[in-house]
Amino acid sequence: MATIVTLADGVAELVRDGDAVAMEGFTHLIPFAAGHEVIRQRRRDLTLVRMTPDVIYDQLIGAGCARKLVFSWGGNPGVGSLHRFRDAVSEGWPVPLEIEEHSHAGMANRYVAGASGLPFAVLRGYVGTDLVKATSNIRPITCPFTGEVLTAVPALRPDVAIIHAQRADRDGNVQMWGIVGVQKEAVLASTRSLVTVEEIVDELPPQPGAVVLPTWAVTRVALAPGGSHPSYSHGFSIRDNDYYVSWDAISRDRETFTRWLDTEVFRRAAVAGGAESADRAAATGHEATA
């Protein structure tokens, strides 16, 4: 049964130094507030797993939380490169970053295998690419029925998955809709899971196309309205495209980034992800955690 906790308590309890952590959300429902809380609690040596380590992992990598990145596309969507990711890979700043690189199809199938309790997944993929040379866990496998040679990739089994969803009920059942990405698979593949939500309601109203994660498949739920910003929560907010564009200049330079980290993460409360979170926390008498 998923119990409802504060975001700060959820991160403190579930995310440990050295863990493999998967924060998922494919453009939509990216758990930024939880990512910032991981930074605030100064977790270290994490293996960060994510198909598209966009701005959220650029922030975690720049803050020095990660030892390794497992991913398939590391850019700022529609904008360009991730400067903190580049700096960590090329210059080892602030700490060296090991990478394990796949394709989207490979990563998606690795989560499916993890969620399915299988040791590996099979797909038509990677053949002829240099990813096979760069990444040691992409291997050929022969179909026992047809003899055809396909590709095998190992299951992903993160220690903890963190996702953001539209809502949960008081029992901890989670409901999300719109672009649902690979979040269900990430939660089911992981040992522990933390779901932040826009709202907690008495009863989950039926919603077309919704994915429901039953409470017994989730470890902890935390209320974090606006917690996907600058990503978005379908039905609650829209993607803050200007933020993604402005991230390019903020992240390009180590000092500018460090200042951003200080004012926008360390000096803010864990309650919500939006720009007003510190004000909101101040207004309601909550103390910032850092």
Phi–psi pair at 81, nearest 5 degrees: -90, 165
Is the Cβ of residue 24 or residue 169 nearer to another protein in the bound state? 24
Whether residue 160 contacts residue 19, with contact meaning beta carbons closer than 8 Å, is answered with yes
Whether residue 233 contacts residue 166, with contact meaning beta carbons closer than 8 Å, is answered with yes
- By CB under 8 A, the residues from 191 to 220 that bind another protein are 209, 211
Whether residue 123 contacts residue 148, with contact meaning beta carbons closer than 8 Å, is answered with no
- Residue from 26, 32, 57, 257 binding another protein (CB under 8 A): 26
Minimum Å gap between C-beta 32 and another protein is 14
136 lines the binding site for another protein (CB under 8 A): no
Whether residue 10 contacts residue 222, with contact meaning beta carbons closer than 8 Å, is answered with yes
234 lines the binding site for another protein (CB under 8 A): yes
At 167, which helix (H) or strand (E)?
strand 160-169
The window from 12-20, 34-42, 80-88, 188-196 that contacts another protein (CB under 8 A) reads 80-88
- As given in the structure block, the two tokens for residue 117 are 């309790």
Q: How far is the C-alpha of 237 from the C-alpha of 80, rounded, in Å?
A: 24
- By CB under 8 A, the residues from 159 to 188 that bind another protein are 178-182, 184-185
23 lines the binding site for another protein (CB under 8 A): no
For residues 45 to 64, the per-residue mask of contacts with another protein, x marking binding by CB under 8 A and - elsewhere, is ------xx------------
Cβ-based neighbours of 201, under 8 Å, separated by 6 or more: 167, 168, 169, 170
Interface residues toward another protein, by CB under 8 A: 26-28, 51-52, 71-75, 77-79, 81-82, 85-86, 89-90, 101-105, 108-109, 111-112, 123-131, 133-134, 148-149, 178-182, 184-185, 209, 211, 232, 234, 238-239, 241, 244-245
